[in-house]
Amino acid sequence: MPSSTRERYALAWIIPVGTLGLIALVLLSVWAVKDYRALSRARASLAELRREEARVRADETAIKQELDRPQLHEIYRYSRLINDVIGRRDFSILHLVDKVTQLLPEDVRLGALELDVESPNRVVRLAVSSEKEESLEKFLVNLEDSPDFADVNIVSHGLPDEKTEDANQATVACQVRYVGGGPKPQ
């Protein structure tokens, strides 16, 4: 038996302090095991990422080697040339013809279409004919109302002439500025 008060006091506190110490040791051990497992998972994940990075770099190197083949350089050169031509294209003549034919009434025939390529204003000369003068007038109104054309000028107007083979055809020749169909020339 303890002989002194101090020894009795220490003996009384040894059980609660020992129990708290044991609980703290168990908790620290559990946290240490959890942290160790998390560290192991992080290392495995990092190793997987490094393998993936190495695989991607190997794929990139293989693709670069494939693209650096001399046979492909000629294809690249041609494709750049074609893309440059497409990029410089001001407008399509087929697009212009489509715009004009949409404005033609059913009984009006487009006889001539001329585009002045030297003019920065895209001047277009048109010749149309029809049996009815009203249809020609309708075409001119359509041309003036169209957002794709501006500055319509009638150059000549011919009435039906019984002495020619087109005895029943009226004709109109006009000049117009094409403002639609893509970027404007500079």
pLDDT in tens, 55-92: 999 999 999 888 888 777 777 777 877 776 666 655 57
Choose between 154 and 43: higher pLDDT.
Answer: 43
Choose between 89 and 184: higher pLDDT.
Answer: 89
Q: What is the pLDDT of residues 97-126, one digit of tens each?
A: 888 899 999 899 999 888 876 667 788 899
Task: Give the closest residue to 103 by CA, choosing from 51, 64, 146.
Answer: 146
Token pair in block for residue 65: 């080697």
pLDDT at 132: 87
Q: Which residues contact 182 (CB under 8 A, 6 or more apart)?
A: 89, 90, 91, 92, 95
d(CA 119, CA 185): 9
Residue 38, class by beta-carbon neighbours within 10 Å (0-12 exposed, 13-18 middle, 19+ buried)? exposed
Token pair in block for residue 84: 């440059």
pLDDT at 181: 60
Q: Which residues contact 175 (CB under 8 A, 6 or more apart)?
A: 123, 124, 125, 126, 152, 153, 155
In the predicted structure, residue 50 carries a pLDDT above the cut 60? yes
d(CA 92, CA 94): 5
d(CA 40, CA 33): 10
The order of strands in the sheet holding 123-130 is: 108-115, 123-130, 170-178, 149-158
Q: Which residues contact 135 (CB under 8 A, 6 or more apart)?
A: 105, 106, 107, 108
pTM of the entire predicted model: 0.47
pLDDT at 113: 87
pLDDT at 17: 93
User: CATH assignment of 93-178, given 3.30.70.2830, 3.20.20.80, 3.30.565.10, 3.40.80.10?
Assistant: 3.30.70.2830
Token pair in block for residue 9: 């006091």
Strand positions, DSSP E, the chain: 108-115, 123-130, 149-158, 170-178
